Amino acid sequence: MAKSSPSSTTAPDTAWLGSGRHRGPEAERDVRRNLIALKAAGVIDDFLDLDPVEAVRSTDMFPRDASADPGPSARRLFEARWRVTDGVTVRAQLTTYEPASRRADSEGEVAWVLAAEAERRWEASWPSPATVFWPDSDQVAWDHDSVAGVRLRTANHLPKDDGELRRLLRECTRQSWFVHVVVHEAMTPDELGRRPVTTFLPPSLKHRVVEHRATPEQALIADFVMKRELGVGLPRGGAVVLPSTPQATGYDAERFTVRDVFLDGTEPTELLRKITEYASLPRPLPTDAEAALTRLRQGWHLLTADEELAHARAMVTRYAKALQAMTESCDLYREAAESALAALAEATGSSGPPETSTPAAVDQETAPRKAFTRRLPLFRGPNR
C-alpha cells in the first residue's frame, strides 16, 4: 500500500476506519477463524470471504465500476455484518494487501485496511470493528501501525535519537490513520503504571489510539522536538494529543494538553476526556481511507434477503427505464427519417420517395436483349 495523503473529504461521523499491518504467518487464517467463531456465538449476523478479483467482477444484476476495485496488490477481502444498540446495523470490509516494502524486517508481513459504517452516528461504546475481524489476543500481532515501530494496545517508548524522534513524529502525524498521544513519565512507573492508558478507553476508541511514552530523562528533548516539529509542547509529567497534518478542525494545542497524568494504574479521567473529544473532531480523510469507504458503499456483497429483493426490483426498474428510453430514441429516429424523406420529395417535386433501380427491375429490362443476342450466331455464315 502507498503512503496516504489527505483528501478534501471530511470523515463521516458514521464511519470507523483503520489501517495497519499484521506481522506473522497466515493473516487471512486468523481473520477467518475469528469470523467463524463470532458467527457461531451469534455476535455477528454473517460474513463473506472473497477473492478480490471475483469481488469486483461486474454482472448484469450487480454492475460494478472501478471504485469497487481494491487494487492489484489485494490478497483477500472479508465482509461482516452485525447489529449494535437498538438494532443498528454495521457493515464492514477488511482487505489484506501485500506489503508495500520488501525489506528484511517485513518478512511475513501483511498490510490491512478496515472500513466500517453504521446506520447512524458512531458510538464509542460499540464493539471495535478491529476485534470483529482480528482476535483480541496478544498472541496475534495484527495491531502494528503503518508507521514502522508503532503498535496499538501497548505503550510505545519514544526513540532516544533526535533524528529518529523527528522522523517518528512526522510519520505519525502525516501517514497514520490513528490518534496519537504522548505521555511523559514523571518517574519510572511500576507495573501498574506501565499499563497503557488506552486500556481505559471505550471499546470502539481503544483501537483508534496509539500511545507513546517519554521516559523521565526525555522531558526536555521531547518537548523541544515536538515544539519545533508540531508546535505543541509536552508538560513534565503530563500528556498531549498530537495534531494531524492537516490539522483537524477545532484543534488547539492547549485544549488537548493535560498537565498532570498519574501513572499509578488509576483511570486518567482528564486525559481520556481529551482523547475522546479530539476523536470526535471533523478530520480530513486520507486518500486511501476515502477509497476504502467508497469500496464499502459501492462494492458491498453481503446483502440480506430483503436487501437482495429490493436490489432486484431496483435493477428491473432501471432496465425498464433504459428500454423505454431506447424505444423512444428509435421512435424519434424514425420520425426524423420520415420527415427528411418528405422534405426531399417536396424539394425534387415528386409525390413519393426517389425511385431506385433494384436488381430485379434491371433483370426484367435486359432479359429480351440477352435472348436476341444469343440467337445472332445462327444467321451468320456464307449461305445465310
pLDDT above 60 (res 102): no
Q: Which residues, at least 6 apart from 350, have a Cβ–Cβ distance to it below 8 Å?
A: none
Q: How far apart are CA 73 and CA 286, in angstroms?
A: 19
Sign of CA dihedral 16, 17, 20, 24: positive
Query: Any idea which of 73-77, 182-186, 260-264, 282-286 has the lowest mean pLDDT?
Result: 282-286
| pLDDT at res. 381 | 53
Over the stretch 171-185, which tens digit does the pLDDT of each residue have? 999 999 999 999 999
Quick one: pLDDT at residue 367? 55
The torsion angles phi and psi of 55, rounded to 5 degrees, stand at -65, -30
Q: Name which of 125, 281, 279, 116 is nearest 202 in CA terms.
A: 125
Cβ-proximal residues to 8 (8 Å cutoff; 6+ apart), any chain: 284
Share of the chain above pLDDT 70, in %: 86
The C-alpha atoms of residue 296 and residue 205 are separated, in whole angstroms, by 21
Residue-averaged pLDDT of the chain:
88
Q: Which three cell numbers stand for residue 13?
A: 461521523
The span from the CA of 180 to the CA of 283, in Å, is 14
Please give the pLDDT value at position 140. 95
Residue 333 has pLDDT above 90, yes or no: no
Distance CA 214, CA 192 (A): 17
Residue 110: φ, ψ to 5°? -130, 130
